[in-house]
Amino acid sequence: MTILTSTKDMRKIRSSGDVLKKVFSYVEAKIVPGISTLELDRYVEKIIRESDAVPAFKGYKGFPASICASVNEVVVHGIPSDEVVLREGDIISVDVGAKKNGFFTDATRTFSVGKISSEAERLIDVARKCLEAGIEQAIAGSRLSNISHAIEKVAQKAKLKEVRTFVGHGVGKNLHEAPEVPNWGERGKGPVLKEGLVLAIEPMINSGTRDIDIRSDGWTAVTRDGRLSAHFEDTIIVGQKEAEIIT
């Protein structure tokens, strides 16, 4: 668990978050029909390294790349490949981690490739709103599960399914730390949030079933029914009145 107490550490972790902000602002223009997810990975890795940071996913538990590139029915952990080429109408989530000045940050955006279906657009919109609703609850004195509940509520209202197999997490000194941050649950459970606690909140929202399968590569998580999945994630610092989003 990382609880920041000094302005010096706050500054350090913000500079790590800034690397991911930069990645997303640059990569968006690259997400066009015809580009492979391996090309996206190389592009992102270059941006991270040029920012005096290290790609946090590369080599993590053996993951071979700097981004997780998850297209359409892939929920998370898609491995970049020259065989996965984006086509008009696809959606792709790009999940990236950076380490800079001793601090890890972790974030994800789901992008559309050209013109996408209204179903896909709505899914992306709801997934983003789930993240926003979760972040709103990340205030000191609140209970951890209030974040979880807020996410579930937005998904439920939209008649979409929050994935329960994967959860958000503490981040900061390590890429994945305590506490786990589920994307569902009752309010009022779990630890009381402390000011300065760093969390990666990351709802994954499915169009159809919430159930997932893992492909034979051991990483790629796909929806069991083959329908679409969207994923948004930010690294945030719990604050007195509101969370600070650093990615």
Minimum CB separation from Mg ion for residue 231, in Å? 9
Which of 162/202 has CB closer to Mg ion? 202
CA-to-CA distance for 236 and 247, rounded, in angstroms? Answer: 7
In sequence order, which residues have a C-beta less than 8 Å from that of residue 159 and are 6 or more positions away?
Answer: none
Minimum CB separation from Mg ion for residue 184, in Å? 16
Applying the rule CB under 5 A, the residues between 184 and 203 that interact with Mg ion are 200, 202
Which of 104/111 has CB closer to Mg ion? 104
Stretch that binds Mg ion, among 1-9, 98-106, 203-211, 236-244 (CB under 5 A): 98-106
CA-to-CA distance for 207 and 5, rounded, in angstroms? Answer: 40
* Binding of Mg ion by 163 (CB under 5 A): no
Applying the rule CB under 5 A, the residues between 227 and 246 that interact with Mg ion are none
Which of 45/202 has CB closer to Mg ion? 202
Whole-number Cα distances in Å, 226 to 71, 86, 136, 152: 11, 17, 31, 21
Minimum CB separation from Mg ion for residue 167, in Å? 9
DSSP lists the bridge partners of residue 218 as: none
Whole-number Cα distances in Å, 215 to 18, 218, 221: 33, 6, 6
How is residue 6 annotated by DSSP?
A: S
* Binding of Mg ion by 106 (CB under 5 A): yes
Minimum CB separation from Mg ion for residue 88, in Å? 29
Burial class (CB in 10 A: 0-12, 13-18, 19+), 157: exposed
| Total of chain residues touching Mg ion, rule CB under 5 A | 3
What is the 3 state secondary structure string of 39-76? Answer: HHHHHHHHHHHHCCCEECCCCHHHCCCCEEEEECCEEE
Stretch that binds Mg ion, among 103-111, 134-142, 189-197, 219-227 (CB under 5 A): 103-111
In sequence order, which residues have a C-beta less than 8 Å from that of residue 157 and are 6 or more positions away?
Answer: none
Minimum CB separation from Mg ion for residue 1, in Å? 15
Cis peptide before 179 (omega within 30 of 0): yes
* Binding of Mg ion by 56 (CB under 5 A): no
Minimum CB separation from Mg ion for residue 14, in Å? 18
Which of 141/204 has CB closer to Mg ion? 204
CA-to-CA distance for 85 and 39, rounded, in angstroms? Answer: 9
Stretch that binds Mg ion, among 86-94, 102-110, 188-196, 222-230 (CB under 5 A): 102-110
Stretch that binds Mg ion, among 41-49, 74-82, 99-107, 203-211 (CB under 5 A): 99-107
Q: Which residues bind Mg ion (CB under 5 A)?
A: 106, 200, 202
